[in-house]
């Protein structure tokens, strides 16, 4: 299939995301002008208004963005990602979490990089860390965001993309927690690119929720092996922190969150519920 310049599909799996999916989809619509964008929302296991909100955004974007809303009875991100496969058009694909907001110009910047190489590529926007409210989370974020294996890597974390040749690297998504890490493991380092002109807002949860979410990250990486983790390479990360005295005062908070997360491994799909509270 011949690729059409400017064509991109955006896959948004969503489970009970009525509080956040409107902002996520509105950002995509605002960024889609001049491009051929199809948004595929897969509401999975929802008992809220996620699907209705997605359809409303799609109705308002008629003529600007193509919208497909699929509903699944079970709550499963891998099943949602696979349900979207039937609606892909064979070109580049952006995988976007329903709680993630991209910054203006991101779709075009990602497409420019994906269209350039003559081969498979995985790309990602740069995370823009929203300042955490509490001191412990700020300390963790200060260290984590400066780790070389995070700053220079396609971390996923809410958004990643592949070109058409890259999407051919796999068929169905396996039943794993970390779909982004799974996809990253299929691409060599030289085939993964962080795009400076693209960004997404990254909101870290606070307090015990941060430990629970980090535990999910650990569990997801463990399913695939540590080589799939963007935070792998502890010695390189440690050297980078030691070489940055400004980070030293944040190390206790970083280590505390890491240690406490090791005792919170029972909930496979833990997420930050506080940011999804409305009213």
The residue-averaged pLDDT of 5-19 equals: 94
pLDDT tens for each residue of 77-135: 999 999 999 999 999 999 999 999 999 999 999 999 998 877 999 999 998 888 887 88
225 vs 274: CA distance, rounded Å = 30
Higher pLDDT, 59 or 234: 59
Instruction: Please give the average per-residue pLDDT across 49-64, as a whole number.
Output: 96
In this prediction, residue 279 has a pLDDT band, given cuts at 50, 70 and 90, of very low
Mean pLDDT value across residues 193-209 = 88
Which range among 59-68, 95-104, 145-154, 258-267 shows the weakest confidence by mean pLDDT?
A: 258-267
3-state secondary structure of 253: helix
Q: How far apart are CA 144 and CA 159, in angstroms?
A: 18
* CB-based burial label for 108 (10 Å; 0-12, 13-18, 19+): middle
So what's the pLDDT on residue 214?
A: 78
pLDDT score, position 230:
53
- Distances in Å between the Cα of 29 and the Cα atoms of 37, 54, 60, 102 are 9, 12, 9, 10
* Structural domains for the chain: 8-99 (3.90.550.10)
pLDDT at 73: 97
Confidence of residue 257 (pLDDT cuts 50, 70, 90): confident
The answer on pLDDT for 75 being more than 80 is yes
Q: Reply yes or no on whether the pLDDT at 277 is more than 80.
A: no
Taking alpha carbons only, the member of 96, 70, 90 closest to residue 10 is 96
**pLDDT for the residue 217:** 67
Instruction: Over range 27-41, report the average pLDDT.
Output: 96
Section 143-155 average pLDDT: 83
Q: Which residues pair with 13 in a beta bridge?
A: 42
| Per-residue model confidence (pLDDT) at position 270 | 47
Interatomic CA distance for residues 185 and 223, integer angstroms? 12
φ, ψ of residue 179 to 5 degrees: the values are: -65, -35
Give the CB-side neighbour count of residue 270, counting CA atoms within 13 A.
20
> Which of 203, 200, 219, 207 lies closest to 270 in space, CA to CA?
219
Tokens at residue 114, please?
Answer: 């994906």
Q: Which pLDDT does position 278 carry in this prediction?
A: 46
CB 220 within 8 A of CB 178: yes
Residue 266's pLDDT band, with cuts at 50, 70 and 90, is low
Q: Residue 175 has what DSSP assignment?
A: S
Angle at 59 between CA 271 and CA 272, to 5 degrees: 5
Going by pLDDT thresholds of 50, 70 and 90, the confidence category of residue 271 is very low
Alpha helix positions (H), the chain: 21-31, 50-60, 77-84, 106-115, 135-144, 148-151, 164-167, 179-184, 208-224, 234-242, 251-261
């Amino acid at each position: 299939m011949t690729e059409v310049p400017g064509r991109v599909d955006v896959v948004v799996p969503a489970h009970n995301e009525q509080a956040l999916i409107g902002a996520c989809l509105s950002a995509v619509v605002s960024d889609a002008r001049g491009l051929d964008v199809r948004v595929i929302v897969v509401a999975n296991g929802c008992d809220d208004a996620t699907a209705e909100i997605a359809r409303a955004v799609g109705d308002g974007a008629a003529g600007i963005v193509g919208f497909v809303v699929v509903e699944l009875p079970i709550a499963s991100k891998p099943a949602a990602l696979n349900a979207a496969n039937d609606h892909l058009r064979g070109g580049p694909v952006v995988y976007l979490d329903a709680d993630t907001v991209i910054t203006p110009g991101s779709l075009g910047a990602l497409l420019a990089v994906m269209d350039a190489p003559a081969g498979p590529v995985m790309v990602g926007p740069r995370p823009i860390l929203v300042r955490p409210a509490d001191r412990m989370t700020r300390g963790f974020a200060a260290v984590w965001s400066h780790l070389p294996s995070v700053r220079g890597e396609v971390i996923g974390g809410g958004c990643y993309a592949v070109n058409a040749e890259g999407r051919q690297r796999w068929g169905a998504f396996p039943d794993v927690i970390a779909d982004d890490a799974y996809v990253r493991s299929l691409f060599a380092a030289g085939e993964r690119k962080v795009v400076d002109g693209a960004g997404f807002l990254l909101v870290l949860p606070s307090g015990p929720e941060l430990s629970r979410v980090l535990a999910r990250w650990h569990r997801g990486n463990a399913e695939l092996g540590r080589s799939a983790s963007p935070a792998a390479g502890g010695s390189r990360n440690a050297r980078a922190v030691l070489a940055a005295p400004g980070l030293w005062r944040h190390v206790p908070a970083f280590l505390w969150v890491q240690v406490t997360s090791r005792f919170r491994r029972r909930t496979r799909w833990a997420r930050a519920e506080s940011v999804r509270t409305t009213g």
